[in-house]
Structure 1
C-alpha cells in the first residue's frame, strides 16, 4: 500500500512530535518532513513534495494565507490542511481564500484528523463545524425558503439521516468521509433554516424534498 506523504508545520516542538507520533500509527500515513516556521516550511515542502501539508496558521514569517499561497505556488500538487486553535474571521477567511483545502481545530479527535488528511489528499474539502458555519454565514446570501435547493448529494445525506443513520453510517454508504457528511449537513441546515437533524428531516418532508 502506498503511503500518503505528509509534512507537519508548527512552531511548537511538542506539537510536531505529538502529530508525528500520532500520524505514524497509521500504516497509510507517513510524515516525511516537518518545519517550525513559514520559511522552513517552504524549503521542506519544495524538497519533499508531500501529498498533504498539515500546518498551523500563526507562525514565524510567512504565515497564514501568505504561507498557504506560497506553498501552493511552489508545489501546486500538494494539499494544505490547516490545523490550528484559531477559528476567527481573520484566520479562516484568508486561509480559505489562499487555497487551503481544509481547516480543522486542534481539539479534533485523532480519528477525525486521520479522515481529514485522507480526504484532503483526495481533494475533498474538510472543515471543522464552527469553521463551516462561519463561512456559510459570510459567503452565502440569505435566500427565501422557496429559492433554497438541495443538491443531489445533500438529498442523499438527508434521506439517510431520515432513516436514522449516523454520520459514520451515512459516510460508509456514500463512500465519503464523515467530515464531508457533517459539512453537507451544515449546508442542509443553512438552506432549510434549521439547526439540527430532526428539524431538517421535518422541514424536508413538509416541503416535499423527501418521499414518505
Structure 2
C-alpha cells in the first residue's frame, strides 16, 4: 500500500485548525503529521517532522504564513517542502506574495472540504493549484512582476496544439476540463502539459499561466 500523504496544518485559529485536522485525518490517504499556530513553529516542525505538504494560513502571529513559506519552500531552500496556502483573505497581494515565496497552491477557506482535499492531493503530487476565483485577476495584475516581457507569440517554441493547451491552462481549466474541451484523453493532456513545461523551462502550471499572460496568449 502507498504511504499516506503527511500534512502539517498551520493556522492560529483553534477552531479552524481543528476543523482542518479533522477533515484531513478522516481521509485514508492523508494523515496529519502535526499542527501549529504560527509560522515560526511551522518552520521548526517542518525541520523535525518532514511532512509532505504544509497547509498554511497567511495572517498569523510571530511569523506570518508568507515568510514561513519562503523559509520552507522558497528559492535556495536545500530540501523544500510543498506549501498550500489556505486563507480567508481573497486579496491579490496575498496570492502574489505566496506564490513568490514558493507556495505551490492557494485556496480560500470557504472552499468546500472536497476542494481542500483535492488541493492537498494535487500539490502533493508536484502539481500546482490556484483557486479558479482568483487566477485570472492575479495573473492579469502581477504577471509583469513575475516574468519579464520578451518576444511575441510567434517566438514561442510550441506546436499549435501545445499553444491551445497552454491557453486553456491559463484560463484555469483542469486536465479533465481540457480533455473534454479538446476531445482528447486526460493522459494526452498530461503529455501536452509535460512537454509545454519542459520546452518553456517552467516549474509548474502556475508559471505556465503567468507565461501565457506575459506573452499575450490570453488577456
Taking structure 2 as the reference length, what is the TM-score of the superposition?
0.68
Matches of 2:44 and 2:218, distance apart in 1: 46
Query: Per-residue deviation at 1:117?
Result: 0.5
Inter-CA distance 3–146: structure 2 relative to 1 (3 Å threshold): closer
Q: Which structure 1 segments of 5+ residues have no match?
A: 194-212
In structure 2, the CA distance between the partners of 1:6 and 1:75, relative to structure 1 (3 Å rule), is farther
The one-character-per-residue Cα deviations of 1:107-141 (angstroms, maximum 9, x if unpaired) are 11111111110111111110011321122202446
In 1: Cα distance, 2:111 partner to 2:186 partner: 18
Q: RMSD of the alignment, in Å?
A: 3.4
**Deviating more after overlay: 37-46 vs 133-142:** 133-142
> Which of the residues 107, 115, 118 maps onto 2:118?
115
Q: How big is the shift at 1:75? A: 6.9
Distance 1:9 1:153 in 2: 35
Q: Which residue of 2 aligns with 1:50?
A: 51
CA-CA distance at 1:161 after TM superposition: 2.2
Q: In structure 2, list runs of 5 or more residues that go unmatched.
A: 169-174, 192-204
Contact 1:51–1:77 under 8 Å retained in 2: no
The ranges of structure 1 where at least 4 consecutive aligned residues each deviate by more than 4 angstroms after the TM superposition are: 145-150, 154-159, 170-176
TM-score, scaled to structure 1: 0.70
Residue equivalent to 1:136: 139
> Who is 2:89 aligned against?
86
CA distance change for structure 1 residues 152 and 9 in 2, over 3 Å: closer, same or farther? same
Residue 67 of structure 1: SS of its match in structure 2? helix
